[in-house]
Amino acid sequence: MLKLLFFWLSLLLTLHLDRPLAEASNVTDIFILAGQSNMAGRGGVEHGRWNGVVPSQSAPSPSILRLSAGMRWQPAAEPLHVDIDVARNKTCGVGPGMAFANAVLPGLMRCNEAAAVVGLVPCAVGGTRIRQWRRGKRLYGRMVRRARAAARGGGRRRIRGVLWYQGESDTVRREDAEGYKGNLERLVVDLRSDLGIPALPFLLVAVASGEGKFVEQVRKAQLTIDLPNVQCVDAKGLGLKADHLHLTTTSEVQLGQELARAFLAHFAHRPSLHQLMQ
């Protein structure tokens, strides 16, 4: 009898673990995190190793989940992109995502007048140029698939915005920097179309650094983008690590909080996906 009980308990546990949690969880507000390494997070990473230090502003919360690489909701914790940005020579650390989620959560609860559960969808990959995020490319396709999987489930669940921090790799070649604005605008339009959310908010970060000499050209493109429901948060002035490319842990936290303030100021009072689509 005891063996039979253990068998049924094991079977139930297996079935539970195999359920599509992207459909089963209580996530209400979904945010896509995309771009390159400063979105994926390099805070606390030195010599290829993460020091494991998590600031209180980036601490886990029962009300913050992440979509894993296997399309399953799980408790969110740094490093958010640990199974997404997985190239052999890359190590993920603290990024802006958890600080953003912790800062935006109380505002969402006030605006929703109900409990909120933030669902983060990590998609960022270090060292990528914006051309690699075009419609039809692998990174773009994966981002769309992950966003759609996250949105399954109905109810109060909706995609609330995209956090985009990318551009450092487009500062190397003049043609990339000069074409950046057009490529970025095309990305915004295509993603809104493919997700069926014409007014999907974009929180864009203007780069603080770059791999080449055309940083100001890329920054100008980001700061002057002229599309509705796009807000730009400037990372210039935030502290950089010794490589003069990646944000420090403290800077990642500050950026996440700035992104949360921008979202709450401009987009939080739109309580439903239906209204976003008008």
Known catalytic residues?
A: 37, 243, 246
Which residue has tokens 């981002």? 143
| 12: exposed, middle or buried (Cβ count in 10 Å: 0-12, 13-18, 19+) | exposed
CB neighbour list of residue 89: distance below 8 Å, 6 or more residues apart: 48
| CA-based R_g, the chain, Å | 19
Answer for the pair 42, 93: CB distance below 8 angstroms, yes or no. Answer: yes
Total number of residues shown for the chain:
278
Q: What angle do CA 69, 257, 250 make, to 5 degrees?
A: 85
Picking from 265, 267, 264, 205, the residue whose alpha carbon sits closest to that of residue 237 is 205
How far is Cα 13 from Cα 31, in angstroms, rounded to an integer?
29
Answer for the pair 200, 229: CB distance below 8 angstroms, yes or no. Answer: yes
The answer to whether the Cα torsion of 121, 182, 86, 93 is positive or negative is negative
CB neighbour list of residue 113: distance below 8 Å, 6 or more residues apart: none
